[in-house]
Amino acid sequence: MTDRILVFYGSYRTDRAGIRLANYTVSTLQARGNDVELIDAKAIDLPILDRMYKEYAPGTAPDRLEALARKIVAADAFVFVTGEYNWGPQPGLKNLTDHFLEEWFWRPAAVLSYSAGAIGGARANVAWHATLSEMGMVVTSSTITVGPILGALDESGRPTGEAGARLERAFPRFADDLAWWTEAAKRQRDLRKPPY
């Protein structure tokens, strides 16, 4: 059975190196037979959070918020690709996710991070795990850090050099972990309605 996976990416920078990792993630998960869509925070361009989706009366949320809510609710799993800004995740990605809450519940999430340096955004990765867990997702233990990002993937999102080789070695386990939790969550939702 095909899994519906949303891959979220949050950089608003003009020269976005992390989009390479987001594109690699989408294409690699698609090659495994998944139905995958990239959700680019910059392209959606939600305003700084004022009102969450649930705070709008039914049918009155802005169209882009309504459309994204439907996609999130229909997804089986999520992948978050985040850069590290001053030891934390990207504000564009955090802002996008904060517009929703219950829409995220009872599905698995996985995290890939990156940075210009060798540490690969590890601190943002750790912070993101706690945030996603608080938002009702089951965050997989397999995670990937990519750095330096410009040495790991070319402009087309193809792995290059030693950092790219590390990514290619790590990705199958990362994807297998997400697939296992996705199947488990689907079965549990079929077996029993979530408690809230």
Residue 94 lies in a domain: yes
Tell me the mean pLDDT in the region 121-126.
96
- pTM equals 0.97
State the DSSP string of 103-155: GGTT-EEEEEEE-SSTTTTHHHHHHHHHHHHHTT-EE-S--EEE-SHHHHB-T
Task: Please report the pLDDT score of residue 131 as a whole number.
Answer: 96
**Which range marks the domain in which residue 105 is found?**
4-191
Encode pLDDT of 164-184 as tens digits: 999 999 999 999 999 999 999
Task: Please report the pLDDT score of residue 134 as a whole number.
Answer: 96
**120 contacts 154 by C-beta, under 8 angstroms:** no
Residue 131 lies in a domain: yes
pLDDT of 1 higher than 90? no
Count of the separate structural domains present in the chain: 1
Give the number of C-alpha atoms closer than 13 A to the C-alpha of residue 173, restricted to the C-beta side.
Answer: 8
Task: Please report the pLDDT score of residue 7 as a whole number.
Answer: 98
Task: Please report the pLDDT score of residue 91 as a whole number.
Answer: 95
User: What pLDDT band is residue 96 in, cutting at 50, 70 and 90?
Assistant: very high
**How far is the C-alpha of 92 from the C-alpha of 41, rounded, in Å?**
6
**38 contacts 22 by C-beta, under 8 angstroms:** yes
pLDDT of 146 higher than 80? yes
Report the percent of the chain where pLDDT is more than 70.
99
**How far is the C-alpha of 82 from the C-alpha of 22, rounded, in Å?**
9
Chain mean pLDDT for the chain: 96
Residue 196 lies in a domain: no
Task: Please report the pLDDT score of residue 196 as a whole number.
Answer: 84
Residue 122 lies in a domain: yes
User: What pLDDT band is residue 111 in, cutting at 50, 70 and 90?
Assistant: very high
- At 168, which CATH number? 3.40.50.360
